[in-house]
Amino acid sequence: MKTMSTLDFEHVSPGLALPPLTKHVTVDQIRQYAEASGDRNPIHLDETFARSAGLPGVIAHGMLTMAFANQMVTDWLGDRSLLKSLHGRFAGMVLPGDDVTCSGSVASKDDETRRVVINLVVTNQRGEKVFNKGVAEAEFSPQKEQ
């Protein structure tokens, strides 16, 4: 079990890049996600059905890609409860065998509200964006009295 330690708000500054996160997507992971999420839409599970729907084959759930983006941000924050919002567009399909990389950077920081805005994007192994216009907002706990 990996443990988390919370990021220090004072160490955050605009332009700071988050540690990127790369994931190799497999048929097994898509099936496992379908079971865990309840989303058993056949475009994610049935190769024949997916092709008949005009897709190149089964595709990963968009929400799996968004979960990767979520993880990149919360791994960096060190505390899942700091994440207040997450938004983005599913710009391209993710297929089994793809390697997707989440990257992001701090867009702004507000010392009054202790809120931090992060811009993020997920690209595949060809550099094509599969999740774009991503924005996450985090709010740090009030500063402890010295």
Partner 1 sequence: MTDSRWVGRSYETAPYEVTEQSIRDYMAAVGDLREDGELIAPPTFAMVYGFDAYWQLWTDQEVALDVAHLVHGEQRFSFQRPVRPGDRIRTTGRLIAINTRGDMELVTFELKARDAEDRPVSDGTALFIIRKP
Residues that bind partner 1 (CB under 8 A): 1-4, 23, 29, 32-33, 35-39, 41, 43, 49, 52-54, 61-64, 66-68, 70-71, 74-75, 79-81, 83-90
Phi-psi region of 127 (alpha: psi -120 to 50; beta: other; left: phi over 0): left
Least CB distance to partner 1 at residue 53 (A): 5
Smaller CB separation from partner 1, 2 or 144: 2
Over its C-alpha atoms, the chain yields an Rg (Å, rounded) of: 17
Smaller CB separation from partner 1, 15 or 54: 54
Smaller CB separation from partner 1, 16 or 49: 49
Smaller CB separation from partner 1, 64 or 116: 64
C-alpha torsion sign, points 81, 83, 85, 86? negative
Least CB distance to partner 1 at residue 121 (A): 14
Least CB distance to partner 1 at residue 58 (A): 13
Q: Are 139 and 113 in contact (CB under 8 A)?
A: yes
C-alpha torsion sign, points 28, 21, 127, 133? positive
Least CB distance to partner 1 at residue 42 (A): 8
Q: Are 98 and 125 in contact (CB under 8 A)?
A: yes
Which pair of structure tokens corresponds to residue 1?
């079990």
